[in-house]
Structure 1
Amino acid sequence: MLQSKQSEAFLAVAETGSFELAAEKLCITASAVTLRLQTLEKQLGQVLILRERPCRVTQVGQILLQHLQHTRLMQQNLLQQLQGQDTHSDFYQVNIATNADSLATWLLPLLRDLLIKQNITVHFQVDDQSETHHLLEAGLVNACVTTEPQAMKGCIAEYLGSMNYRFTATPSFVKKWFPQGVHRDALRQAPALIFNEKDYLHTHYIQQNFGLSPSQYPHYFIPSSTAFVDAMVIGLGYGWLPDYQVKKFLDTGELIEISPQFQIQLALYWHHWKQQSQQLQHLTAHLIQYAHHVLN
């Protein structure tokens, strides 16, 4: 049986990356954190934390971390359902996984009024739109925005709408790298902008239509929605941008659409557990009612 104080110490170190920060979080000394973690490791017969700067969770520790985070989330949901609010404030907390583009464009403005009116705070976790449902499956979030249309057992999947992505770059970039249009040889030479190693929207499209893997063309990894736009505007590379972000730059001529035939429609779905807190029910109803106006 896991002891709560030992589990709390492990969770605090894993999430802060430091024994000192964990001690501040738990309002105890760093030596007490160390002792509790050592006791837990001895009990389990496994090293859970690598004592580095910052501290890193081992493979076994990652299994325990996911279990404890899942348990904490379930306890929060239970308390909110029974007590009607967070035990420490008048706000309700929900955990949502989403892709970075949705968070940077339409999601927060759409939810703003509801979050303020209902006193709801959100802990967002960002991942590729094809991966966010795994966080829901692991029990780490209450709901997610994803491209996965099929709901897993115990969940409901509801269609939100589609984000349209345009294949764009600066006029000077297009003139230099695509003077004869977009073709396989040109793509092998032109530097691409990719959000990160999970950016399947870009890599899958190039692989499927031109037979090129990321190792076959130069590319930047820029894991920030705003920095990604900035990189394109200053001419570092080409890539796909959602209409929400690219429209004003197309209007000013700072960016141009390289070819309309390369537009990508990304269908998005809202996945949530069938059993929801009242606050998440309000959030879900609001999202389903208004998202299609924004996305379509």
Structure 2
Amino acid sequence: MFDPKHIQTLLAVHREGSFQGAARVLNVTPAAVTLRVKALESDIGAMVLIRGKSLRLTPQGQAIVSYAQRAQLLEDELMRSLSLDQQTFHGAESWSSLRVAINTDSLATWFLPGVSADLQARNILLDIVVDDQDYTHEALASGEVVGCVTTLSRPMKGCVAEPLGVMTYRGLAHPAFLDRCRSTQGELSIHKLLSRPAIIFNRKDALHDQFIQTHLGLRQPSYPRYFVPALDAFERAIELGLGWGVVPQPVLRRNNEPVVRPHTMDQLAEIVPGARLDVSLYWQHWERESEPAQRLTRAVKSAARAYLRP
């Protein structure tokens, strides 16, 4: 039988990314965290963490973290069921905390506006892991989260993949920047475009390469790049004419009004007029969910129906 303190300590180390961070949230010393992790490794006869510049879970550590998170959700569900009004427990308001992985574009457009009412009505707290939509499923596979918005359509082991809808992207640039990418006849010069910078969100962002391959017919070309891993700054860099970018088309509400975003980008011009890049999104979650996680799944699917293209 494993010591619950050892398992919770590993979970804290994983969530905080360091022994020091885990010590802070557990209100113990870093030395105590180290001793607990070593004791857990001694109990199972295997390493649970790979130490280095960053801490990574071993397969054994991933299995334990997944178990701990599922057990925590079940305990939360039990506490809520024992509380007759399901709102208070021992005189305090009862909240369920769920860890999810969401891509930045979804988070900044449809996800939070779509689920906010349900989160408040159901007393659900979100611990959001932000990653590229092509990589969010890795957090689910490792047991770090209970659900993720992803481009992966194939259900992972023990999971369900629910189609959400389509996010549409356009290639945009400041008109003055685009003018410098034209030939003497006024047409877009692919050579000139690729000799000038692109604004990339981060090194996991493959949307530019997909756009270039789909609409310019080139596969994995070389071009100078700015990396700007913050949505406001990413869009601002395009507005300032530093480079061109692949930007999500404004998401609409049911009444066809756009979701408010920090920068409207109305003054920007399309790299290829009318060219769109569609990205299909899915909500992957555990097949066996706690009641709060089921409520979140219903809220996410409802939000997607309201904001995304089918």
TM-score greater than 0.5 by the shorter chain: yes
Which of the residues 63, 70, 76 maps onto 1:67? 63
Aligned partners of 2:208 and 2:246 also within 8 Å = yes
Q: Who is 1:263 aligned against? A: 276
Q: Partner of 1:262: helix, strand, or coil?
A: coil
- What are the superposed Cα offsets for residues 41-63 of structure 1, whole Å, 9 maximum, x if unpaired? 66757594648xxx6326xx544
Task: For 1:21 and 1:144, locate their aligned partners in 2 and report how far apart those are by CA, in whole Å.
Answer: 24
Task: For 2:213 and 2:242, locate their aligned partners in 1 and report how far apart those are by CA, in whole Å.
Answer: 21
Note the 1:14-163 alignment, pairs <5 A: 14-39=14-39, 44=45, 48=49, 50=51, 56-57=54-55, 61-84=57-80, 90-163=94-167
Aligned length: 287
1:257 Cα offset (Å): 1.9
- Alignment RMSD, CA only? 3.0
Q: Who is 1:165 aligned against? A: 169
Q: Who is 1:213 aligned against? A: 220
1:151 Cα offset (Å): 2.2
CA change 1:279–1:258 in 2 (3 A) is same
CA change 1:139–1:233 in 2 (3 A) is same
Q: Who is 1:278 aligned against? A: 291
Alignment partner of 1:224 is 2:234: no
TM-score by length of 1: 0.82
1:261 Cα offset (Å): 3.9
Task: For 2:75 and 2:295, locate their aligned partners in 1 and report how far apart those are by CA, in whole Å.
Answer: 17
The structure 1 segments of at least 4 consecutive aligned residues displaced by more than 6 Å after TM superposition are 85-88
1:221 Cα offset (Å): 1.4
Task: For 2:173 and 2:12, locate their aligned partners in 1 and report how far apart those are by CA, in whole Å.
Answer: 44
Aligned partners of 2:111 and 2:303 also within 8 Å = no
Task: For 1:276 and 1:45, locate their aligned partners in 2 and report how far apart those are by CA, in whole Å.
Answer: 29
Q: Partner of 2:155: helix, strand, or coil?
A: coil
What residue identity is the alignment partner of 2:164?
L
Task: For 1:139 and 1:46, locate their aligned partners in 2 and report how far apart those are by CA, in whole Å.
Answer: 17
Aligned partners of 1:167 and 1:259 also within 8 Å = yes
1:114 Cα offset (Å): 0.8
Structure 2: runs of 5 or more not aligned: 82-87, 251-260
CA change 1:80–1:48 in 2 (3 A) is closer
Task: For 2:156 and 2:191, locate their aligned partners in 1 and report how far apart those are by CA, in whole Å.
Answer: 42
- What are the superposed Cα offsets for residues 185-213 of structure 1, whole Å, 9 maximum, x if unpaired? 12330100111121122223324544353
- What are the superposed Cα offsets for residues 71-128 of structure 1, whole Å, 9 maximum, x if unpaired? 2211122113323279885111122212110001111011111111111111111222
Structure 1: runs of 5 or more not aligned: none
Note the 1:242-253 alignment, pairs <5 A: 242-244=248-250, 248-250=264-266, 253=267
Task: For 2:203 and 2:49, locate their aligned partners in 1 and report how far apart those are by CA, in whole Å.
Answer: 27
Q: Partner of 2:171: helix, strand, or coil?
A: strand
Aligned partners of 2:48 and 2:61 also within 8 Å = no
Q: Partner of 2:127: helix, strand, or coil?
A: strand
Aligned partners of 1:184 and 1:210 also within 8 Å = no
Aligned partners of 2:114 and 2:302 also within 8 Å = no
What residue identity is the alignment partner of 1:125?
V
Q: Partner of 2:23: helix, strand, or coil?
A: helix
Aligned partners of 2:110 and 2:307 also within 8 Å = yes
Aligned partners of 2:101 and 2:131 also within 8 Å = yes
CA change 1:30–1:149 in 2 (3 A) is closer
Aligned partners of 2:232 and 2:263 also within 8 Å = no
Q: Who is 1:204 aligned against? A: 210
Aligned partners of 1:14 and 1:56 also within 8 Å = no
TM-score by length of 2: 0.79
Q: Who is 2:253 aligned against? A: none
What residue identity is the alignment partner of 2:264?
K
Instruction: After superposing the two structures, state which structure 1 stretch, 226-235 or 257-266, moved more.
Output: 257-266
Task: For 1:217 and 1:174, locate their aligned partners in 2 and report how far apart those are by CA, in whole Å.
Answer: 15
CA change 1:76–1:20 in 2 (3 A) is closer
Task: For 1:37 and 1:133, locate their aligned partners in 2 and report how far apart those are by CA, in whole Å.
Answer: 26
What residue identity is the alignment partner of 2:282?
Y
